[in-house]
């Protein structure tokens, strides 16, 4: 998304824009006053008097991250994933959590075993597109003993228009995959609050966004719909690497029935040059693998309080690789909080704390949906879901190399629209000096693109911490990428938030609000943004 206002002649007269915006705001105001009982911000009971001390040190939390990474590639449903859940379970028990347990979840485990690409007889380095070539839920896939040989055609970025110009039936499609860009100014524009006391986030800060769908996966889906027999995506906006373990983008199986492969941007550029104009270019693509029924596990444990009202704290332990930031870091923050609160006398606790490490972030979120179903069926009164992910360093690509900037990755905390929650989160962030942080609403077009997404959609109250480093789908996400000096401060921030919540009436924590000052600001920014786009 772009925010700079370009000094071009505007197609829309300024007066007309002002008129439109005034009308829009009048409409919003009318909507606001028609919302019944919008209480004044000041009437919310804001209690923030935490006495949090002595959370596990940076070293101790980092030790857990390294332990988790040592289990190997923690893909959901694998033996490495199983070792990880046993480790977390043991920690929960050690920290005195009650009813600590594993909850099994059935899932199909997609595993690639063999992949390659050659064009006009020349081998091209590649990596598989995760969860591609998925035709039947529990049936393996193979390109046959000799692979799939067909003509390869380049179709640009793979828009509908691009596909209308080329017949791809029976062919292998080569397409550039473009990422959108994240602009800090966009986050700050819609934030409840932003905190960067040392001014370390440059004004024009922006970064490639490898997580959200953009022209991928729609170009891949179009290739399949138009009868292509394979798809090769060039990671044009990524580091110069092909080991990109993409997410599934939707919570259902068999999205892409044809095989897919990734190329790095330099290999992709070379291949585009190599393709001979005016004559057929032959490619041979191999992708073989299995899809087997497997079991993933959520890990759950509780610290009962005087009431059964629950403050839930979660992260996810599954990952593409032996990933440190994604999300050994988040799980280790959950462990830090479990250890800290487990060491306090139970009579000090008003509410019940529930600690959860979820599986299946890299499958179809079956574990998340299973937990939501259980909460509903068992009538568990979960007041809030606190989610912690990605305590990572910021990196940039310089001269083809990935280099650290010396800062932690800028972060966001999504908070359900409730003045009490926004206020305690803000105070905890300031108290613990969590610089480079924006506190974000959950109602923007961005939604909640975190492990809390399903919970937010299902109406849970959430506080979800996340940062978006570009390397979290890549094996370069090793313990060196963890923002070591942020580990204790992040845990302390959430201990403060939890302690404050524990002393606050449950109805204040869960009450849903519509806060005019934030809503007006947000809608104003949306209109302003649209006007900017029209001006360009």
Q: Which is nearer to Zn ion, 327 or 409 (CB)?
A: 327
Q: Which is nearer to Zn ion, 163 or 179 (CB)?
A: 179
* Site track for Zn ion across 228-267, x = CB under 5 A: ----------------------------------------
Cα separation, 51 vs 39, whole angstroms: 30
- Min dist. Cβ of residue 524 to Zn ion (A): 32
- Min dist. Cβ of residue 414 to Zn ion (A): 13
Cα separation, 73 vs 79, whole angstroms: 9
- Min dist. Cβ of residue 183 to Zn ion (A): 22
Examine residue 423 and say whether the peptide bond preceding it is cis (omega within 30 degrees of 0): no
Q: Distance between alpha carbon 138 and the CA centroid of its chain, in Å? A: 27
Could you tell me the two tokens for 501? 């919540």
- Cite the DSSP H helix spans in 8-57: 14-34
- The backbone torsions φ and ψ at residue 292, rounded to the nearest 5 degrees and listed phi first, read -125, 150
Number of residues near Zn ion (by CB under 5 A): 3
The answer to whether 175 touches 157, Cβ cutoff 8 Å, is: yes
Q: Which is nearer to Zn ion, 50 or 469 (CB)?
A: 469
Q: Kindly report the length of the chain.
A: 536
* Site track for Zn ion across 339-378, x = CB under 5 A: ----------------------------------------
- Min dist. Cβ of residue 64 to Zn ion (A): 16
Of 149-168, binders to Zn ion (CB under 5 A) are none
- Min dist. Cβ of residue 389 to Zn ion (A): 4
Q: Which is nearer to Zn ion, 263 or 324 (CB)?
A: 324
Own/partner pairs, 2-11, CB within 8 angstroms, 24+ separation: 2/181, 2/183, 2/532, 2/533, 2/536, 3/183, 3/185, 3/186, 3/189, 3/529, 3/532, 5/532, 5/535, 6/535, 6/536, 8/535, 8/536, 10/534, 10/535, 11/534, 11/535
- Min dist. Cβ of residue 81 to Zn ion (A): 14
* Site track for Zn ion across 114-143, x = CB under 5 A: ------------------------------
Of 386-415, binders to Zn ion (CB under 5 A) are 389
- Min dist. Cβ of residue 356 to Zn ion (A): 14
H or E element, residue 347: none
- Min dist. Cβ of residue 329 to Zn ion (A): 9
Could you tell me the two tokens for 393? 């360093």
Binding flag, residue 474, Zn ion (CB under 5 A): no
The answer to whether 256 touches 133, Cβ cutoff 8 Å, is: yes
Contacts of 296 (CB under 8 A, 6+ apart): 76, 77, 81, 104, 105, 107, 318, 359, 360, 363, 366, 367
- Min dist. Cβ of residue 388 to Zn ion (A): 9
Q: Which is nearer to Zn ion, 232 or 331 (CB)?
A: 331
Q: Which is nearer to Zn ion, 287 or 337 (CB)?
A: 337
Only one of the segments 138-146, 225-233, 335-343, 381-389 lies at the binding site for Zn ion (rule: CB under 5 A); that segment is 381-389
Own/partner pairs, 238-241, CB within 8 angstroms, 24+ separation: 238/179, 238/208, 238/210, 238/264, 238/265, 238/470, 239/397, 239/402, 239/470, 239/471, 239/474, 239/476, 240/264, 240/265, 240/266, 240/397, 240/400, 241/474, 241/476
- Min dist. Cβ of residue 316 to Zn ion (A): 6
Q: Which is nearer to Zn ion, 326 or 409 (CB)?
A: 326
Only one of the segments 80-88, 206-214, 250-258, 326-334 lies at the binding site for Zn ion (rule: CB under 5 A); that segment is 326-334
Q: Which is nearer to Zn ion, 176 or 389 (CB)?
A: 389
In the block, which residue shows the tokens 């704290």? Answer: 313
Binding flag, residue 327, Zn ion (CB under 5 A): yes
Q: Which is nearer to Zn ion, 131 or 265 (CB)?
A: 131
Between β-strands 127-128 and 122-124, what pairing exists: parallel, antiparallel or unpaired?
unpaired
Binding flag, residue 477, Zn ion (CB under 5 A): no
- Min dist. Cβ of residue 401 to Zn ion (A): 25
Q: Which is nearer to Zn ion, 50 or 392 (CB)?
A: 392
- 514 to 433, 463, 507: CA distances (angstroms): 28, 17, 15
Site for Zn ion, rule CB under 5 A: 326-327, 389
């Amino acid at each position: 998304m772009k925010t700079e206002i370009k000094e071009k002649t505007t197609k829309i007269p300024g007066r007309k824009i002002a008129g439109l915006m005034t009308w829009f705001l009048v409409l919003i105001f009318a909507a606001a006053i028609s919302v019944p009982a919008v209480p004044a911000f000041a009437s919310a009971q804001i209690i923030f008097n935490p006495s949090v001390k002595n959370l596990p040190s940076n070293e101790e939390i980092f030790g857990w991250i390294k332990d988790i990474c040592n289990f190997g590639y923690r893909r959901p449903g694998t033996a490495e994933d199983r070792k990880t859940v046993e480790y977390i379970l043991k920690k929960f028990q050690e920290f005195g959590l009650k009813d600590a347990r594993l909850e099994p979840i059935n899932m199909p485990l997609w595993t690639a075993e063999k992949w390659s690409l050659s064009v006009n007889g020349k081998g091209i380095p590649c990596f598989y597109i995760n969860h591609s070539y998925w035709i039947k839920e529990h049936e393996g896939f193979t390109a046959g003993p000799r692979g799939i040989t067909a003509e390869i055609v380049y179709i640009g970025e793979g828009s509908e228009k691009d596909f209308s110009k080329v017949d791809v039936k029976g062919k292998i499609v080569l397409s550039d995959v473009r990422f959108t860009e994240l602009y800090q100014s966009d986050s700050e524009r819609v934030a409840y609050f932003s905190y960067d006391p040392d001014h370390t986030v440059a004004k024009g800060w922006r970064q490639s966004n490898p997580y959200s769908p953009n022209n991928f996966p729609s170009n891949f889906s179009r290739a399949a719909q138009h009868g292509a027999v394979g798809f090769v995506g060039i990671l044009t906006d990524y580091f110069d690497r092909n080991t990109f373990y993409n997410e599934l983008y939707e919570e259902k199986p068999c999205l892409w029935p044809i095989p897919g492969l990734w190329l790095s941007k330099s290999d992709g550029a070379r291949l585009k040059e190599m393709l001979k104009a005016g004559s057929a270019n032959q490619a041979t693509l191999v992708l073989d693998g299995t899809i087997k029924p497997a079991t993933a596990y959520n890990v759950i444990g509780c610290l009962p309080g005087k009431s059964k009202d629950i403050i839930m704290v979660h992260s996810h332990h599954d990952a593409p690789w032996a990933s440190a930031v994604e999300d050994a870091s988040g799980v280790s923050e959950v462990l830090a909080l479990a250890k800290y609160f487990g060491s306090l006398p139970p009579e000090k606790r008003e509410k019940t704390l529930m600690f959860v490490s979820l599986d299946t972030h890299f499958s179809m979120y079956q574990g998340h949906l299973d937990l939501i179903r259980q909460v509903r069926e068992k009538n568990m009164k979960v007041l809030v879901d606190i989610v912690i992910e990605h305590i990572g360093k910021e990196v940039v690509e310089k001269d083809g190399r990935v280099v650290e900037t010396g800062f932690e990755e800028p972060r966001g905390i999504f908070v359900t629209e409730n003045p009490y929650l926004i206020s305690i989160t803000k105070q905890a962030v300031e108290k613990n000096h969590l610089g480079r942080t924006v506190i974000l609403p959950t109602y923007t077009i961005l939604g909640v693109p975190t492990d809390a997404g399903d919970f937010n959609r299902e109406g849970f109250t959430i506080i979800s911490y996340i940062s978006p480093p570009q390397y979290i789908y890549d094996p370069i996400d090793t313990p060196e990428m963890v923002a070591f000096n942020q580990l204790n401060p992040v845990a302390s921030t959430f201990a403060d938030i939890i302690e404050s919540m524990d002393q606050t009436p449950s109805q204040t924590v869960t009450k849903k609000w519509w806060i005019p000052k934030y809503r007006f600001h947000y809608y104003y920014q949306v209109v302003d943004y649209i006007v900017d786009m029209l001006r360009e």
